[in-house]
Structure 1
Amino acid sequence: MATVEKPIRFYGVSDVGKRRDHNEDAFFFSESEHYAILADGMGGRHYGEVAANMTVDVVKEKFASFFPPSIKDLRKTEQTHCADMVICLLDEWIRAANLAVWSKGQREEQFREMGTTVVAVYALPNMAVVAHIGDSRVYHLTGGSFRQITDDHSFVNSQVQSGVMTAEEAQASAQKNIITRAIGTAKHVKPEFKTPRLASGDKLLLCSDGLSDMVVDEVIGDIVASGDPPQRILENLVSEANANGGRDNITVLLVDYEA
C-alpha cells in the first residue's frame, strides 16, 4: 500500500561564531531530492574548509548524477527496501569523498593534515537514513522526546562507552574534540548508519560541534521543541551557542516532518 507523503521541509544556517575568523563548515540540502549533508572541516589554515567542501561537493554530484530513478518510485511503497538501497549508495559515495580528500592530501603537502566530519540524512515518508563520521550529530525530536541518534566517533565518547568517564566528565574534558574517525585522515573509512522511524510532527536536527559543545542537549531540545518557525529555531540555536562563547563555527540543519 502506498504511503501518503506529507511535506518534509529542509532548513539550514551557518555562522562563523565569536572566536574564528573563517567558517570551515559546509552544508547543502535539497528538498526535491530529500537529503541534507553537513561537514565540519579540520586541519588549520583554512584547509579544513577544503576538506568539508570537497566532501559535500562529491555527495552532491553523486546525488545529481547517479541517484537511481527506481528509488524515487519506491519511496511510498517499499520504504525499507528503499532505505537499504540508499545506505549502499551513501556508503559508496562517502567512501569516494574520503578517498578524494585523502588523495589530495597525499599529492599536496599543505593539505596533508586536513580532514572533516560528515553527517547526511535522506528523508523517507516514515523513516530516514542517517550516515555519519566524526562528532557532528543528528538529533531526533518526536513527541516529548529529544535524543541524539548518532554516536560520536570521539575519544571521550569511547571512554564513556567503556565506563571510564561519565557523560558530564566527557562534556567538560579538554580532550572532547579528539575524534577517532574522520574523512580524509586515512585511505579507507567506514560510515555508520541509523534508520530512525519518523512521524508527522517529528524533526531531525543536524549540527556541527560548534553547537553541541556550546549548548547542552536539554537546552537544544527545548529550543527545537519550542513551536517557533523552523528558521527561527535555527537562528535561536546559533544565538544560544554564541551567547555561551561561540568558540567554533556553528552549523545547524533542520529536517521538518510537517504535521
Structure 2
Amino acid sequence: MIATPMHHRAAALSDIGLHRRENEDRFVCDDRRGLYGVADGIGGLPHGELAAATAIEAVERLVAHSAAERAAQDLEAIIATANGDVVQQGRQVSPLYSIGTTLTFGLLHGSLLRLAHVGDSRCYQFRSGRLERLTTDHNVESDRRLRNVRPDREVASDRNRAALTRCIGQWTTPIADLSEHETHPGDRILFCTDGLFRSVDDLELAAALASASDPTRTLRDLIDLANRRGGYDNATAVLVLLD
C-alpha cells in the first residue's frame, strides 16, 4: 500500500500535578517516525517512573530499527518486547512486588494510524466536531460495564474499580488492543493519561481540539484546567494536528 503523505504538527506536555511527589508518566513524540504515545507507571507499585520509561524506550528502540511500514505491522511484537523489558527491570529493582505501566502508542504512516494499547491511558480522534475514543480502558470498571454488571451492585461501591486488568509488566505478555484508523486532513489525534481525562470531560476535550491551532498551547490549557480542578495525578498528553 502506498502511503499518502500528510503534513502534521505535534507537541507533548507532561505535568506532575499538585499532589504527587514524582511524575511517573512518560511520552514519545517523534514526528520523523510518526510515533506518538504515552505511558503511565502504576502508582500502587514501586518504580512506576522506571516502568513507564522502560516501556517507552523499548517502543522507540524497536521503531527506530524498523522501516515505518514494518514497525506498524509488528505492533504485537513491540508490545511483547516492552513487556519483557519491564518485567526484567522489575526483577532487578523490585523482585517482591514487580513494576508496571500502561502503554498506548500509535504509528502514523501516511494517512493510516495504527494503534497498540494496554491499560487505561487513551487515544482520541477528533474530526468535524466529533470526538471519538479509539481505545477501551483495561480496568475493573470498564470490564464490568462491558459485561453489563449493574453499577449499583458492584461498580459504584468498588474502591478498586480503576484497578488495571491488563498492564505492561505482567509475567505473561498482555493481550494488546491493536487497531487501524484512517485519518483525514483536519483531524486531531490526542494521546493522554488518566490525570487529564479524569479531570477534563469529553465535551471540554472536544471544544479544545476544535479550536486547536497551536498544539503546545492547547495542551497547556488542558493540563492547566486539570490542575485547577485539583491536579490529583500526573497529567501527560501528546497532540497531533493533521493539516
**1:5 and 1:41 mapped to 2: Cα distance?**
34
Secondary structure at the residue paired with 2:218? helix
Contact persistence 1:154–1:176 (CA under 8 A): yes
Q: Secondary structure at the match of 1:193?
A: strand
Q: How does 1:49-60 map to 2 (within 5 A)?
A: 49-60=49-60
In the aligned structure 2, how far is the partner of 1:129 from the partner of 1:34?
Answer: 10
Match 1:125 to one of 91, 102, 110: 110
Q: Which residue of structure 1 lines up, in the alignment, with residue 39 of structure 2?
A: 39
Structure 1 residues 249, 43: closer, same or farther in 2, change over 3 A? closer
Q: Does 1:155 align with 2:140?
A: yes
Contact 2:46 2:99 in 1 (8 A): no
The partner residue of 1:185 within 159, 163, 170 is 170
Is the CA contact (8 Å cut-off) linking 1:171 and 1:213 kept in structure 2?
no
The total of aligned residue pairs comes to 241
Identify the residue that residue 77 of structure 1 maps to in structure 2: none
1:78 maps to what in 2?
none
What's 1:101 paired with?
86
Query: Aligned equivalents of 2:230 and 2:133: distance in 1?
Result: 22
- Structure 1 position 124, deviation (Å): 2.2
> Higher helix proportion, which one?
1
Task: Give, in whole Å, the separation in 2 of the partners of 1:99 and 1:54.
Answer: 10
Provide TM-score, normalisation by structure 1: 0.85
- Corresponding residue for residue 198 of structure 1: 183
Question: Closer, same or farther in 2 for the Cα pair 1:160/1:198, shift >3 Å?
Answer: same
CA distance in 1, matches of 2:219, 2:237: 6
Question: Is structure 2 residue 234 aligned with structure 1 residue 257?
Answer: no
Structural RMSD (CA): 2.3
Question: Equivalent residue for 1:5?
Answer: 5
How much has 1:131 moved relative to structure 2?
Answer: 0.8
TM-score by length of 2: 0.90
**Of residues 228, 233, 240 in structure 2, which corresponds to 1:248?**
233
SS across alignment from 2:6: coil
CA distance in 2, matches of 1:171, 1:124: 41
Contact 1:38 1:207 in 2 (8 A): yes
Stretches of structure 1 lacking an aligned partner (at least 5 in a row): 72-81
Query: What secondary structure, in the 3-state scheme, does the structure 2 residue paired with 1:234 have?
Result: helix
Q: Given that residues 156 and 165 in structure 1 are in contact (C-alpha distance below 8 angstroms), is that contact kept between their aligned partners in structure 2?
A: no
